């Protein structure tokens, strides 16, 4: 049986989706745009790929002026902080879909003093969420709404051998 297509109304809402240039993030951003969000921010490491995703969303939803591309590299704590600082200047922030992640870089790497996959998939996602919470709370109080935060995960952890 096919999954139902979302029909909720997101008129006037501001949405951030990280990892929005492909897969679940791209489709989530497309649905938020289709459902009337005022602003949908694609938070991606590659702004070039995100611009392609933005064009794709705009053409398939016949909507312009809603989707924005913001750079965020979860391998860098400074990039996460700058992204969240910018988000703090938004009029409102209603929804965050923390979807960005990495599966493998083909070789062991470290970023910010930790295994890169731990930095990207865990530490930076939670850093971002913690830094965005004040804006979500401000939106709740100012607009009398209940913001939503979703941290996307997978069962890929079962393949890790420590």
Give whole-number Cα distances, 40 to 1, 14, 46, 102, 117, in Å: 29, 6, 17, 22, 26
Beta carbons of 21 and 52 less than 8 angstroms apart:
yes
pLDDT digits (tens, 9 = 90+) for 17-76: 999 999 999 999 999 999 999 999 999 999 999 999 999 999 999 999 999 999 999 999
Note the pTM of the prediction, 2 decimals.
Answer: 0.92
Name the DSSP letter for residue 6: P
pLDDT digits (tens, 9 = 90+) for 71-106: 999 999 999 999 999 999 999 999 999 999 887 777
Report domain extents, the chain.
14-159
**What is the CATH number assigned to the segment(s) 14-159?**
3.40.50.720
């Amino acid at each position: 049986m096919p999954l139902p297509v979302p029909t909720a109304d997101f008129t006037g809402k501001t949405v951030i989706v990280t990892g929005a240039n492909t897969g679940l993030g791209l489709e989530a951003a497309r649905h938020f745009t289709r459902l009337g969000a005022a602003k949908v921010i694609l938070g991606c490491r590659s702004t070039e790929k995100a611009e392609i995703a933005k064009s794709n969303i705009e053409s398939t939803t016949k909507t312009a002026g809603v989707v924005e591309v913001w750079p965020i590299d979860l391998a860098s704590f400074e990039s996460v902080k700058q992204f969240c600082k910018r988000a703090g200047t938004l009029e409102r922030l209603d929804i965050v879909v923390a979807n960005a992640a990495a599966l493998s870089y083909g070789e062991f790497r470290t970023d910010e003093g930790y295994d890169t996959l731990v930095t990207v998939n865990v530490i930076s996602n939670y850093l971002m969420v913690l830094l965005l919470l004040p804006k979500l709370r401000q939106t709740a109080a100012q607009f009398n709404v209940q913001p939503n935060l979703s941290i996307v995960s997978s069962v890929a952890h079962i393949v890790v051998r420590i």
